[in-house]
């Protein structure tokens, strides 16, 4: 019977919710996106808990964790410290680390603090920095149908990000470059609900995926990727808003890395091509753990 453990961790006086599925092996610690998306949409990765434990947690400010009304908390350095606290509290001396989207930026920043015990890194649908992400979403936006593109441009010029016509145009972008499944699965819908009006997302990112005006907007670690020395798997969807171009930058910059493109996916390959995604990640971790002859 698969072990399932849920609980709360004290982080700087706040309560962080976590879930551990499975036991044995080197654990996989997951860092969700957003910021503020919560763990929900990553739930299919529980299928990796056949020979190891998989740990999810909701970062402070979203999901089942505390959501304090203090915008001074929402910066990347605090979230890096939170990763350390979670590891220490759960006794995660050795881990595989998976960061998806914003979780990938967090994972990169965490790795640049040179932590001990990370045996491999999985960067899923992410980038080396925000400037390249913004450049790529600007390009993808311009490739939308003309009427949709003009609607986005018109309301962005007025900073009216909540007009129904604007939100409909944003959804069209999301259906092409965030998740191509129809309908969207329940874990993703719960994550969308987490992000609705989320102060962490608005403070660090902005109103949506391609209007990045929060405090992350200038974050860029392209010139420091060479400091990441652990084996790294980079995954990306062919239609991803964090495009294969972003993934190539990571692949070129991280010395011991490999890159896998999921041809039928946008931003959520673990949902859109779940069987293949699980196999690719499972095989990568098993290979890292197998002693070389």
Active-site positions? 101, 240, 267
Task: Collect all residues with Cβ–Cβ distance below 8 Å to 128 and sequence separation of at least 6.
Answer: 108, 220, 221, 222, 225, 246, 249, 250, 253
Q: Is the dihedral of CA 240, 244, 249, 254 positive or negative?
A: positive
Cα 128 to Cα 101, 139, 246, 249: the distances in Å are 11, 18, 7, 7
Contact predicate 241/127, CB 8 Å:
no
* CA separation for the pair 136, 112 (Å, rounded): 24
Spatial neighbors of 171 by CB under 8 A, at least 6 apart, are none
Residues contacting 222, CB < 8 A, separation 6+: 128, 129, 132, 249, 253
Contact partners, residue 213, CB within 8 Å, separation at least 6: 206, 207
Q: CA 170, CA 218: separation in Å to the nearest integer?
A: 23
Helix (H) and strand (E) counts for the chain?
10, 8
DSSP H or E segment with residue 163: none
Place of tokens 């982080």: 11
Burial of 168 (0-12, 13-18, 19+ CB in 10 A): exposed
């Amino acid at each position: 019977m698969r072990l399932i453990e849920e609980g709360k961790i004290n982080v700087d006086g706040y309560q962080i919710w976590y879930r551990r599925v499975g036991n044995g092996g080197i654990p996989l610690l997951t860092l969700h996106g957003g910021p503020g998306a919560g763990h929900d949409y990553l739930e299919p990765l529980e299928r990796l808990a056949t020979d190891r434990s998989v740990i999810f947690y909701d970062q402070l400010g979203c999901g089942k964790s505390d959501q304090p009304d203090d915008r001074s908390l929402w910066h990347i350095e605090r979230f890096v410290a939170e990763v350390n606290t979670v590891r220490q509290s759960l006794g995660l001396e050795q881990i595989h680390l998976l960061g998806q989207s914003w979780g990938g930026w967090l994972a990169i920043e965490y790795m640049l603090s040179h932590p001990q015990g990370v045996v491999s890194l999985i960067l899923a649908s992410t980038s080396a920095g925000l400037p390249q992400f913004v450049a790529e979403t600007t390009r993808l936006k311009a490739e939308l149908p003309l009427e949709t593109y003009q609607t986005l441009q018109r309301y962005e010029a007025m900073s009216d990000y909540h007009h129904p016509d604007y939100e409909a145009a944003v959804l069209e972008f999301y259906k092409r470059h965030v998740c191509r499944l129809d309908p969207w699965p329940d874990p993703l819908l719960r994550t969308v609900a987490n992000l609705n009006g989320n102060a962490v997302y608005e403070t660090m990112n902005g109103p949506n995926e391609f209007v990045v005006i929060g405090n992350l907007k200038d974050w860029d670690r392209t010139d420091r990727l060479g400091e990441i020395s652990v084996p790294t798997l980079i995954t990306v969807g062919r239609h991803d808003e964090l495009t294969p171009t972003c993934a190539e930058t990571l692949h070129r910059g991280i010395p011991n890395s490999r890159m896998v493109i999921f041809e039928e996916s946008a931003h959520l390959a673990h949902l859109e091509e779940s069987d293949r995604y699980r196999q690719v990640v499972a095989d990568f971790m098993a290979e890292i753990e197998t002693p070389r002859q």
